[in-house]
Amino acid sequence: MKRPKLKKASKRMTCHKRYKIQKKIREHHRKLRKEAKKRGHKKPKKDPGVPNSAPFKEALLREAELRKQRLEELKQQQKLNRQKEQEKKRKVEANPDVKPSDVEPVKEESEQCKTNNRTKSVKQSPKKLYCQELKKVIEASDVVLEVLDARDPLGCRCPQVEEAIVQSGQKKLILVLNKSDLVPRENLESWLNYLKKELPTVVFRASTHQKDKRSKTKVMKKAAPFKSKVCFGKEGLWKLLGGFQETSGKSIQVGVIGFPNVGKSSIINSLKQERICTVGVSMGLTRSMQVVPLDKQITVIDSPCLIVSPLNSSAALALRSPASIEAVRPVEAASAILSQADTRQVVLKYNVPDYKNSLEFLTMLAQRRGLHQKGGSPNVERAAKLLWSEWTGASLGYYCHAPTSWTPPPHLNESIMADMKWGFNLEELEKNNAHSIQAIRGPRLANSILFQSLGLTNGVTEEKDIPKGLPKPKQKKQEEKEEDEDMNSDQESVDAEVDERASNTSPAEETWVAQPEESVPGNQSGRSFILDKVTEEDDVYDFSTDYV
């Protein structure tokens, strides 16, 4: 109530009302604190930056700096263009006799700057960069180490690259049989006897756990050494390179080449006893050449993976190409691998029943590993990717038989093979290889899978021979639409045939009409596997007759 003597109403309130308001405020704050305690205290997120363990950290930081510089240059250029335009406008306003044609060159200059920046931002395809880096490694190296997977040594050899090394001049080529612990000892000896007739061959087993300078690891007391930390064949390769360096009388550079996932970077880390090169399960981690000095006289050069030619077989593409799981469908890649493997040993390894085709195997593998889609149906694609990752990784043990008769490849003759072996102490190499074979504990024949090798894998060394990329998304959509239309037309014809047959079949037989067969590449039989399907051979119960 406004008092007559005062101009404004008083804002004073009773103590009871004030205390009541303060009490409610305290209760409200207490409630908020209780809820925040339940949720937990969340600090504002900060940008962590690039971790030290991330691959290509230096390259990423360099790219970020280059992007910042480009943005700053663009801003400065735009600022200068704006200032020029403003000056032109002022001149036009001050002198109306000036023609507007003088203003147009400024716009043209700005458009040219934009087009130049766009052309700079366009990057080269990675395959062309890989070819360029591979040529640099071969030209710079005196000795080239071709790393082979001991599970399929012949399939890891590239005749085009070996021919380029032979034609490049006085360069030595050495074969390194890596992953020797994944094949039986007898098979390893037979491959060593086969390959050493052509070129000097070293049995190797790279260690997968090396000390990283950037990462700090805790030292455990009385820690049992892991098997993966032990490296075999390092001393033999060191002595071989050291002996050649002494005979040549100068410092040498050693290039390391090979297909993806054969262990090029792991071999360099094992020789250096440090994790200098990035290694991992995924294919194609090394994207540029990296120079690693082993000592004052020997330098090793790491190279990106060789590019697989698309003219190879589907099994070679699935095992040797890092983009095969994207370019080829996962089911097709897995079926191509299974078509070259022994069926009985695959069944024992994966603990699944006997299968008729690859689709049936992938379905049972998905059920076995618990890979399901929505609704409980088995996820066949995930099972195919799982199988592909196991066969291309360094955990599954499989082997190939060495050829019974030795025939030299066309790019190597007796004189070339003699030149390649000159300067190396082969007797000491044989002793070191024998010691490594005895020390390596490989799997038994019963625990490994027999694989049929398809011979040498063709690679791409010239940029002009690189195949074009995958079709654009629009083209893919059009192709998928055409395939769907073809499938719909085929399905209509099949439905018409089924309707014609339905008149001659009984009602009980109508439910078990055979579905159309699908052809899957690499399958042992053309029939597709369908879950919970009753075969036509089963007897149908006849309700018209009574059985006593």
Kindly tell me if the per-residue pLDDT of 186 is higher than 60: yes
**Per-residue buried b or exposed e for 384-406, using 16+ beta carbons within 10 Å of the residue's own CB:** bbbbbeebbebeebbbbebeeee
Enumerate the domain spans of the chain.
127-211+227-308+402-465, 314-392
Average pLDDT, stretch 534-543?
45
Kindly tell me if the per-residue pLDDT of 143 is higher than 70: yes
Instruction: List beta partners, residue 510.
Output: none
Q: Name the least confident of 26-40, 52-66, 178-192.
A: 52-66
Collapsing DSSP to helix, strand or coil, 460 comes out as: strand
Q: Are strands 290-293 and 298-302 parallel, antiparallel or unpaired?
A: antiparallel
Q: pLDDT of 362-397, one tens digit each?
A: 999 999 888 888 888 888 888 888 888 888 887 788
**Per-residue buried b or exposed e for 256-275, using 16+ beta carbons within 10 Å of the residue's own CB:** bbbbbbbbbbbbbbbbbeeb
Element (H, E) at 111: helix 104-121
CA distance 263 to 233: 14
User: With bands split at pLDDT 50, 70 and 90, how would you rate the model's confidence at 31?
Assistant: very high
User: With bands split at pLDDT 50, 70 and 90, how would you rate the model's confidence at 27?
Assistant: very high
pLDDT at 20: 96
Report the alpha-carbon angle 32-34-40, nearest 5: 100
Threshold 0.85, pTM exceeds = no
CATH code for the domain defined by 127-211+227-308+402-465: 3.40.50.300
Q: How many CB atoms lie within 10 A of CB 364?
A: 21
User: With bands split at pLDDT 50, 70 and 90, how would you rate the model's confidence at 223?
Assistant: very low
CA distance 156 to 135: 19
Please tell me which residue, 168 or 87, carries the higher pLDDT value.
87
CA distance 387 to 389: 6
Q: What is the dihedral of CA 540, 545, 547, 548, to 10 degrees?
A: 180
pLDDT at 175: 92
Instruction: List beta partners, residue 143.
Output: 172, 254
Kindly tell me if the per-residue pLDDT of 280 is higher than 80: no
pLDDT at 263: 84
